[in-house]
Chain A
């Protein structure tokens, strides 16, 4: 299965990719985008993702607007599950993301066990 990671931090993209593999998921491909707009550009030509993991604070297009764009996007992408990966633990922000169509939220720092527990339902 294929996963898209949207995060402006090269380190965080590597951390998430490593965590997914350590969590034991069978992932064939992990693609990366540096912000929400890059994520949308990528999804315009490649829609075959089982899950999208997105940061909140990013330049150009932030995570909240990325979620809104995906959910109002083409039929091939609008139902891909999106999980926010962010330090923002405030209930209002989590609530805003879920209201916009996100399917879950993971707080940094996290462990492979956390990823496994939170993402198992999407990556079965």
Chain B
């Protein structure tokens, strides 16, 4: 089902998503993160150097994506695993982008108490020049979080 027809459920999901990002950055990365706003956007289209994507299906369908610069991802992953940013391998960055998306979605699901929704294995992209797009007619919300080392964007089409 689309949650677009249920404003109450949509609010629960979007609030859950916002809280999940803040909690994850605080609890695991021990980073200060400031919620800098949310807005409706026309397309689910991500172009930063790093993207993590998770598809939701079951009782409801949708897609959540996180994106940031590779420098910010390197800093976040380094804080989470306790290694210097220079010690991280490409595998760590790919898995780090995937885990960010995974934990954000898992947190949203738990906080919104939506029950029978499956999360796909995450997809991660780390590169210089690309666009990751999901063509959908679902409404897309973009959340922006300001961190000391850069901006983290989270897209949700639900």
Interface residues of A (CB under 8 A from B): 9-12, 14-15, 18, 57, 59, 86-90, 92, 107-111
Contact = CB atoms under 8 A, between A and B. Distances in A.
A87 B81 contact: no
Contacts, number: 64
B92 A92 contact: no
B121 A57 contact: yes
Given A11-B81, A15-B81, A87-B119, A109 B95 contact: no
Contacts of B83: 14
Decide if the interface of chain A is mainly helix, strand, loop or mixed: loop
A109 B103 contact: yes
Interface stretch (B1-9, B109-117, B132-140, B148-156): B109-117
Contacts of B81: 11, 14-15, 18
A11 B95 contact: yes
Interface of B: 23-24, 27-28, 77, 80-83, 89, 91-92, 95-96, 98-99, 102-103, 105-107, 109-110, 115-117, 119, 121
B98 A109 contact: no
Nearest to B101: A87
B116 A109 contact: no
Contact of A87 (B82, B92, B102): B102
A59 to B, nearest CB: 8
Contacts of B98: 9
Given A9-B95, A15-B81, A89-B106, A110 B27 contact: yes
Given A18-B81, A109-B23, A12 B109 contact: no
A18 to B, nearest CB: 5
Contacts of B103: 87, 108-109
A10 B97 CA distance: 11
A24 B81 CA distance: 16
B106 A10 contact: no
Contact of A10 (B27, B91, B117, B121): B91
A59 B95 CA distance: 14
Q: Which of A9, A89, A92 has the most CB of B within 10 A?
A: A9
A10 B116 contact: no
Q: Which 4 A-B pairs have the closest CB atoms?
A: A87-B106, A14-B81, A11-B95, A9-B95
Contacts of B99: 9, 11-12, 15, 108
Contact of A11 (B24, B80, B107, B115): B80
Contacts of A15: 28, 80-81, 99
Nearest to B110: A89
Contacts of A110: 27-28
